[in-house]
Amino acid sequence: MSAKANLVVMNSGDGVRFRGQKITESHAIWLSFSHWMKYCDGTFEKLLSQFPEVKAETKGFLHHPDFFGVRDLVRLTDLFDARVHLGHKASLRNEYMTPYIFGNRLGIDIIDLEQTVSHMQYALNFVAHIAFQSGVILFVTRHAQTVTLVESMAERCGEYAHCRRWKLGTFINTQQTFSEFGNTLRLPDVVVFLSTHNTVFEQHNAVVESAKMLIPTVGIVDTSCDPRLVSYPIPGNDDTLSAIQLYCGLFEKAVSIGKKKRVMYEEQTE
């Protein structure tokens, strides 16, 4: 089976088409991602079937609902105290965020924290898995007041942060942009957005580029954000300092747990 067989055909002269039908660019990105993941899952299963002992060990943590115990890190009371439930004005609401909104008070959208808890738990589990597998994690934000906070957190984790202006094509045109560094360049295994906006109304360009390059993403999505291209969207306040401090603390713990678990696992298998 060819990986390209089910991918979307992009034609600049005739728009974007899939199986002969015109579709939007965002839909094309999602179709490409979903078909590629199905292909990768099938290939991975075939590979593991050749090594029964490896497959047995892998299933131990890949199929465990909470192998790293990160679900206990997220508490609804902590989210409430950090003002994670406070969204933007109703007039700024993105229609795709409606399912995550609990209600409206004094013109401000209130985020459903019960959904935030479950989405955060899934996201932390995924990030811990990436850290466990020695993956590269990139933290991204353009919120000026929290740049130092995010960069410090990434440094403590031993990971990376990008909090400055995003140069278009950073992911897509990797070879052309970073050719002077040779062939050792590696794209991140997951991008964590502490804010998916570049400005108040503009989506961060790295969200689209990550989707096009099939890089999984974790993102805090406020009521004014578009969650469709984020692999693990987490509904929550994305511009209050107390909320960002809470997010950074949770992601730092998840990464640390994943890395410590990897060291323990390597010692046991030696």
Q: What tens digit of pLDDT does each residue of 233-242 get?
A: 999 999 899 9
Rounded to 5 degrees, what are φ and ψ at 126?
-65, -45
What are the φ/ψ torsions at residue 23 (nearest 5 degrees)? -135, 170
Q: Is 126 helix (H, G, I), strand (E, B) or coil?
A: helix
Let me know if 97 is exposed, middle or buried by CB neighbors in 10 A (0-12, 13-18, 19+): buried
Cα dihedral 41, 47, 50, 56, rounded to 10, equals -50
Confirm if 206 and 213 have CB atoms less than 8 A apart.
no
Alpha-carbon span 270 to 259, nearest angstrom: 17
Q: What is the pLDDT of residue 185?
A: 77
Helix (H) / strand (E) element for 110: namely strand 108-111
Q: pLDDT at position 233, please? A: 96
pTM: 0.77
Which pLDDT belongs to residue 182? 61
DSSP 8-state code for residue 89: E
91 burial via Cβ count (<10 Å: 0-12, 13-18, 19+): exposed
Q: How far apart are CA 143 and CA 80, in angstroms?
A: 21
CATH class of the region 71-269: alpha beta
User: Of 31, 49, 39, 120, which is closest to residue 84 (Cα–Cα)?
Assistant: 120
pLDDT of residue 114: 95
| Cβ-proximal residues to 230 (8 Å cutoff; 6+ apart), any chain | 193, 196, 207, 217, 218, 219, 221
Angle formed by the axes of helices 113-132 and 52-62, nearest 10°? 150
Q: Which two tokens stand for residue 187?
A: 């794209």
Query: Rounded to an integer, what distance in angstroms lies between the CA atom of residue 202 and that of residue 211?
Result: 17
- Tokens 């992009």: give the residue: 10
Q: What is the mean pLDDT of each run of 10 residues along the chain (270 residues)?
A: 38 46 51 46 50 51 82 95 94 93 94 96 95 95 92 95 91 72 79 90 92 94 94 94 96 96 81
